[in-house]
Amino acid sequence: MKKNTNENIKVLIADDEVEFSSTLQTRLNLRSFQATAVYSGKETLRVIEEEHPDVLLLDLKMPDLDGLEVLARLKEEHPDIQVIILTGHGSFEVGKEGMELGAFDYIMKPVDLNVLINKIKEAYAAK
């Protein structure tokens, strides 16, 4: 069991909405998370290799690679990374598909930061 403090948690935010992901990154860092933001599917896969995040906040619709595709590839190579699907394009069906591919949970935008942080902590704890 890892120690449940924010400093230890590496969070990667993958969302093509730059304004959203960069702001979220700043706010998480303000709360002592080690947050990084990426803006495309391919970039996500590359940064994962470099940074090995604990939790990935993943948007489902990105211009180059679909979020579900990213999720599928990621889970093959790094099953230990917890993925929380975070999208405005969600529906229950897509969420369910994500869960079947191994996502930890599914949250619809816009999301309250406290709810999100609790979810990140849950995911990290379940790692």
Partner 1 sequence: MKKQTNIIHKILPDPLKSSIDLGLVRRNYGHFRLILFVTMLIITAVPVTTIAILGYSNYKSLLQKDERIQLKWQLDGSVRAIEQMVDSLKSVVQFAARRDRYKELTTNSNLKELFDRLHRQYPFFADLGVIDKYGIQQAYYGPYGLQGTDYSGESWLKAVFNQGLHISRVYKGYRNVPHFAIAVGNYDPRTRQTWVLRATIDAKTLQQFVDTIKTNASDDLFLIDDEGVLQTQSDYYGQALDRSNIETKVGIWLDISPEEEAILHGTGNIRTTPWSLVIMKKGYVTQNAWKSFRSKLLLIFFTCTGVSVLIIYSLVTLLTSLIRKADEIQISMMQEAEHKDKLASIGRLAAGVAHEINNPLAIINQKTGLIDDLLQIAVDFDEKETLQLNLKSIDANVERCKIITHRLLGFARRTDILHEKLGINDIIREVLQFLENTMLYNRITLDLQLHDNLPPISSDRIQLQQIFLNIVNNAMDAIGKDGTVSIITSMIAGEIRVVIQDDGAGIAQDLLPHIFEPFFTTKETGKGTGLGLSITYGLIKKMGGDITVRSNVGKGTAFTITLPINNEHT
Q: Which residues are at the interface with partner 1 (CB under 8 A)?
A: 17, 19-20, 23-24, 26-27, 30, 88-93, 96, 99, 104-106, 108-113, 122-123, 125-126
Radius of gyration of the chain (CA): 13
100 to each of 7, 11, 80, 103, 109, how far by Cα in Å?
30, 22, 15, 7, 20
Euclidean distance between CA atoms 94 and 109, whole angstroms: 14
Q: Minimal distance in Å, beta carbon 93 to partner 1?
A: 6
Q: Is the CB of 23 or the CB of 46 nearer to partner 1?
A: 23
Smallest gap from residue 21 Cβ to partner 1 (A): 9
Nearer to partner 1, 47 or 102 (CB): 102
